[in-house]
Structure 1
Amino acid sequence: MTFRPVKSTHMAQPTMEGAGVHLHRVFGFGDPSDSDPFLLLDDFRNDDPQAYEKGFPWHPHRGIETITYVLEGEVDHGDSLGNRGTLGAGSVQWMTAGSGILHQEMPRGNAAGQMHGFQLWANLPSAQKMTTPRYQDIAGSDIPEVIEDDGTRARVITGSFWGVRGPVDGIAAEPQYLDISMPPNTRRVLPVDTYANTFAYVFAGAARFRDASAPVGVRVEKEVAGEEINIRDMSGNRTLVRFDTGDEISVTSGPEGARFLLVSGRPIEEPVAWHGPIVMNTRAELQQAMRDLNNGTFIKPVH
Structure 2
Amino acid sequence: MIQRTIARRVRGMDTADGAGVKLKRVIGQPALDMLDPFLLLDEFRSDQAGDYIEGFPDHPHRGFETVTYMLAGRMQHGDNQGNRGDLGPGSVQWMTAGSGLVHSEMPQQEAGLMWGFQLWVNLPAADKMTAPRYQDIPPGDIPVVQPAPGVTVRVIAGELEGVSGPVAGIATQPVYLDIALDAGAHYDLGLPVGHSAFAYVFDGTAARVAGESLARSELAVLSEGDTLSLAAAEATRVLVVAGRPLREPVARYGPFVMNTQAQIHEAIADFRAGKF
- Shared fold (TM-score, shorter chain, > 0.5): yes
For residues 230-251 of structure 1, the C-alpha deviation after alignment (integer angstroms, 9 at most, x for no partner) is xxxxxx2211011010000012
The answer on whether the counterparts of 1:32 and 1:272 sit within 8 Å (CA) in structure 2 is no
Give the residue type in structure 1 aligned to 2:274: G
Instruction: Please give the secondary structure, in 2, of the residue aligned with 1:121.
Output: strand
Q: What is aligned with 2:9?
A: 9
Q: Which runs of 5+ in 2 are unaligned?
A: none
Q: Identity rate of aligned residues, in percent?
A: 50
Q: What is aligned with 2:104?
A: 104
TM-score by length of 2: 0.96
TM-score by length of 1: 0.88
Q: Which runs of 5+ in 1 are unaligned?
A: 217-235
The answer on whether the counterparts of 1:76 and 1:105 sit within 8 Å (CA) in structure 2 is yes
Q: What is aligned with 2:151?
A: 152
Instruction: Please give the secondary structure, in 1, of the residue aligned with 2:216.
Output: coil
Q: What is aligned with 1:291?
A: 269
Superposed structure 1 runs of 4+ greater than 4 Å apart: 29-34
Q: 1:55 to 1:34 in 2, by over 3 A?
A: closer
Question: What displacement does 1:187 show?
Answer: 1.7
Q: What is aligned with 1:122?
A: 121
For residues 40-85 of structure 1, the C-alpha deviation after alignment (integer angstroms, 9 at most, x for no partner) is 0000110001110100000000000000000101111100111012
Q: 1:109 to 1:260 in 2, by over 3 A?
A: farther
Measure the CA separation in 1 of the matches of 2:30 and 2:165: 29
The answer on whether the counterparts of 2:4 and 2:222 sit within 8 Å (CA) in structure 1 is yes
Give the residue type in structure 2 aligned to 1:252: A
Q: How does 1:24-43 map to 2 (within 5 A)?
A: 24-30=24-30, 34-43=34-43
Q: What is aligned with 2:168?
A: 169
Measure the CA separation in 2 of the matches of 1:46 and 1:40: 20
Q: What is aligned with 1:233?
A: none
* Match status 1:71 vs 2:74: no
Question: What displacement does 1:32 show?
Answer: 7.9
Measure the CA separation in 2 of the matches of 1:32 and 1:44: 18
Q: 1:34 to 1:7 in 2, by over 3 A?
A: farther
Q: 1:14 to 1:22 in 2, by over 3 A?
A: same
Measure the CA separation in 2 of the matches of 1:100 and 1:73: 27
Measure the CA separation in 1 of the matches of 2:223 and 2:40: 19
Give the residue type in structure 1 aligned to 2:186: R
Two-structure CA RMSD over aligned residues (Å): 1.5
Q: What is aligned with 2:185?
A: 186
The answer on whether the counterparts of 2:151 and 2:186 sit within 8 Å (CA) in structure 1 is no
Q: 1:81 to 1:32 in 2, by over 3 A?
A: farther
Q: 1:29 to 1:238 in 2, by over 3 A?
A: closer
